[in-house]
Homo-oligomer: A and B are copies of this chain.
């Protein structure tokens, strides 16, 4: 067991007594993912470094005594990555929330790991600039968490994932080294681009303490439509036509299957289109021509009319926001239908329809009444699937997971599109990654964190040392 008294004293000496919390002083939010999770941890000691240097010193101290730590941002992850084990010290980045001045010439912003995504978006917007990372959880999600998980969201089809926006990082390593990796420059090929290692590493190789992010000019106009289509192929044709006819303009392409759309029925939310179509698409384009953009968008929509069963083209920004309100309400409504099993997976878009059919077929063998509620980001190969078996307990979760991940893997997909691995998917990592890949991850873990103090057991197993799974899914790795 962890010696709380001694650690509180020693780490309190680094971060200040008021920032080393134990017992009843620890807020409940430190023990569980914000949106709930099967895993509920125990936060025996929470330390809140006030500077990156303090955070690095905390790591150095813990590394010296072999004390494991878990790093927490906004706890908006969905894989229990930040849920503390009993023997871990919680290192919260919440006080590292400073947002430095936006650089309008270089179009960058530098933010502490603990700054929320929404606050950084706002800072950029004040300069007519856009941070093109957008998540439903932006009010709580932190920049450090976005970088550590390579967060996706609704703008990936237009701008790419978080990785694409990171110019430089400040990172604290397990042994207390504090490094600035790369520069704010667009191009900087002076040596290995080390920051890439820490983007999406879920904190197992090092802790992001601040990030410099590239910004885009804000759009002047937004056009969009809510459409019904008959199937995934029609949706893909719609996407590809829009991308070809309005190059660089498509910033979002969200799909919702009818079963998921119907969760809006009891909410009273204004529906852009009636229920009953197989598949719905919310598309948004950016532009700059208040007169011409709507016309051009309408003309493309005419071009694709054979593929569109029904369409509501947003007459103005208010209506487009209403479309988004409907789309963004869906995850919350789905979450109310507990118990359910939620999945964030990637499947090659061309294989998706077949994959979902297969998944339903396999699940129906065990649960004839199973429901699949599906929505996601088709342009990014990414869907979110809620499986409702009809049972009242979560006891058969592993069975459901095995079926879903096996079918996804067989379709050439990935067990994690944008939510990472954490604890939740750790035992399925080898469905998507080969044994050779996992061995390389473990090799990196041993190189950067030989004592395994950082987010131990997340992503890859820990049994007294970093160990490897066996590669059940993918071939191609020799070892």
Contacts and interface: CB of A to CB of B under 8 A. Distances in A.
Nearest to A219: B247
Counting chain A residues whose Cβ lies within 8 A of the other chain, the interface size class is: 35 or more
A459 interface: yes
Given A434-B179, A459-B191, A460-B191, A348 B440 contact: no
Interface stretch (A262-270, A367-375, A419-427): A419-427
A414 interface: yes
A117 interface: no
Interface residues of A, dominant DSSP: loop
A180 to B, nearest CB: 4
Contacts of A197: 192, 196-197
Contact of A437 (B179, B189, B247): B179
Nearest to A193: B200
Contact of A189 (B217, B249, B416): B416
A177 to B, nearest CB: 6
A248 B286 contact: yes
B288 A186 contact: no
Interface stretch (A15-23, A31-39, A42-50, A441-449): A441-449
Interface string A214-246: 001111100000000000000010001001111
A186 to B, nearest CB: 4
A68 B216 CA distance: 45
Interface string A166-195: 000000000011111101111111111110
Contact of A247 (B183, B187, B287, B382): B287
A327 interface: no
Interface string A63-79: 00000000000000000
Given A181-B437, A288-B245, A349-B105, A189 B418 contact: yes
